[in-house]
Amino acid sequence: MQDLSGSCDGLFSQGSSRVEGCAPIRACELPQGALLDKYRGKGGYADCYVTEVAWRVSQAEYVEAFYTTALFGVERRLLSWFVSKPSTDAEARQLAAGALDSFAAWRVEARSADQLLMSDFQGHTRSWLMVDASTTSAVERTRLYFGSAVVPAVSAKSGKPTLGASFRLLLRFHKLYSRALLRAAGARLARLRVENP
């Protein structure tokens, strides 16, 4: 995995992106047992971001919130227009509940009780969501993880795996967008908690 800025400890330190009710968003190493872990190294790229909320969030709640934010809605509309892969909030709920194996431009590659690994329809990228809920001293907390991977293509020139120039050009945007997506999901979960106590 490349370009990570420390562990997940000290999530409430200053200087990171944050939303009301959520810890700052930080880049961190993939946790043990992460379904995305198999895409680390081998010439590819993988990253992981995490935030924490002070209440219990199920995997289904997180997945639904992530894919139904206004920000992700923009991506969904673009996918509908440019690659004819429309999607609805109802389908996002079905995906979260385990009743769908494809959503917009992605298909489910693997899932478990606390994780979801998605592959884009061309097989070039992966998206991964995970919850890690814990209770200590009667205080409930849930860590929300979001990670991505880019699978390298074999260069016709060198015969070696490469990510290409376009990946390097878009990497800074990708990092900002990943943080924004996780921040939006945390904000949506916080809003839903207030609306449905």
pLDDT at residue 6 in the model? 35
Contact 104, 76 (CB under 8 A): yes
Token pair belonging to 8 = 């997940």
- Structural domain boundaries of the chain? 26-189
Q: Write out pLDDT tens, residues 45-58.
A: 999 999 999 999 99
Backbone angles phi, psi at 139, to 5 degrees: -105, 125
Q: Write out pLDDT tens, residues 36-93.
A: 999 987 778 999 999 999 999 999 999 999 999 999 999 999 999 999 999 999 999 9
Q: Write out pLDDT tens, residues 99-147.
A: 999 999 999 999 999 999 999 998 889 999 999 998 666 778 999 999 9
For residue 7, pLDDT over 60 is answered with no
Contact 19, 186 (CB under 8 A): yes
Which single residue is written with the structure tokens 């909320």?
53
Work out whether the CA dihedral 134, 174, 88, 30 comes out positive or negative: negative
Say whether 88 sits in a helix, a strand or coil: coil
pLDDT at residue 42 in the model? 73
Which residues contact residue 141 at a Cβ distance below 8 angstroms, ignoring those fewer than 6 apart?
52, 53, 54, 55, 133, 134, 135
What CATH architecture does domain 26-189 belong to? 2-Layer Sandwich (3.30)
- Strand 115-120 and strand 125-136: the pairing is antiparallel
| Cα Rg of the chain (Å, integer) | 17
Token pair belonging to 114 = 């606390």
pTM, entire model = 0.85
